[in-house]
Amino acid sequence: MKRYTFRIKRFDPEKENFRWDEFSVDMEPMERVLDGLDRIKDYADGSLTFRRSCGHGICGSCAMKINGRNRLACQSLLRDIEGRGTARRAPTVVIEPLEAFPVIKDLVVDMEDFFEKNDLVLPYLINDEPPPERERLQSPSEQEMILESITCIMCGSCTSSCPIYWTDSQYLGPSSLLKAYRFIFDSRDRAEEERLEKVTGVHGLWRCHSIFNCVESCPKEIDITGHITELKRLALKNRFRS
């Protein structure tokens, strides 16, 4: 058992101000940051507010900034992310809400704009051809092309970490562009041109500067920048320019 200091950036919506609170928690290094937050809420301060659901890296609810990087609290082991301690001070874990999104309370951010931008790229299969008797089939190679993009859990870590999104609130963001890739490159879909028109506007595909923050912050290790690059190549091939 080891003592950790959780330094948490909090927001009070009634007073409309931010503050930092510190909590000392005895934990095992193999425990998760989410376990520490649960312990603080259960035994130290019940008003601490954060999102969580599955606790197993599937729902993306517990995305937050932990020691300077966007991570899932449920996947972040203390031994892997603990800050530096001293002989007199316990290791410190600094936790903040995701950047670029409005904060509702403490670690809970407003992701309405994030989901609206994902909706703009038509994130569903479009195919008006007569349906087959059974499912629409794909070859293994066709499925492989979109396999990585399908693993996105919509946690918002990539968009929150994008410097372009920080300065351009209308930018679609890496998550939306990845979602567009997922359906444009799906061999069963028939809305390639319609989606390319939506992602190649002034605040779309060409605003991406390939900074790779999205790749570094993705908890599923998706090569988001690589997928966006493939979108750019397809857009140029089809003469879609901003």
Query: Are 73 and 156 found together in one domain?
Result: no
Please report where in the chains the tokens 């080891």 appear, as a residue: 2
Q: What is the CA radius of gyration of the chain?
A: 20
Contact (Cβ atoms closer than 8 angstroms) between residue 120 and residue 170? no
Phi/psi for 140 (5° steps) reads -55, -40
- Look at residues 108, 136, 163 and tell me which one is the last residue of a structural domain: 108
Query: Are 117 and 228 found together in one domain?
Result: yes
Query: Are 126 and 98 found together in one domain?
Result: no
- Look at residues 66, 83, 108 and tell me which one is the last residue of a structural domain: 108
Query: Are 160 and 115 found together in one domain?
Result: yes
Query: What pLDDT sits at residue 239?
Result: 82
Token pair listed for 87: 């002989």
Domain enclosing residue 75, as ranges: 2-108
pTM of the model: 0.93
- What is the count of structural domains for the chain? 2
Query: Are 101 and 210 found together in one domain?
Result: no
Query: Are 217 and 131 found together in one domain?
Result: yes
Report d(CA 236, CA 78) in Å as an integer: 45
Query: Are 103 and 119 found together in one domain?
Result: no
Query: Are 125 and 192 found together in one domain?
Result: yes
Token pair listed for 124: 């569903």
Residuewise pLDDT in 10s, the chain (242 residues): 999 999 999 999 999 999 999 999 999 999 999 999 999 999 999 999 999 999 999 999 999 999 999 999 999 999 998 655 545 567 999 999 999 999 999 999 999 999 999 999 999 999 999 999 999 999 999 999 999 999 999 999 999 999 999 999 999 999 999 999 999 999 999 999 999 999 999 999 999 999 999 999 999 999 999 999 999 999 999 987 65
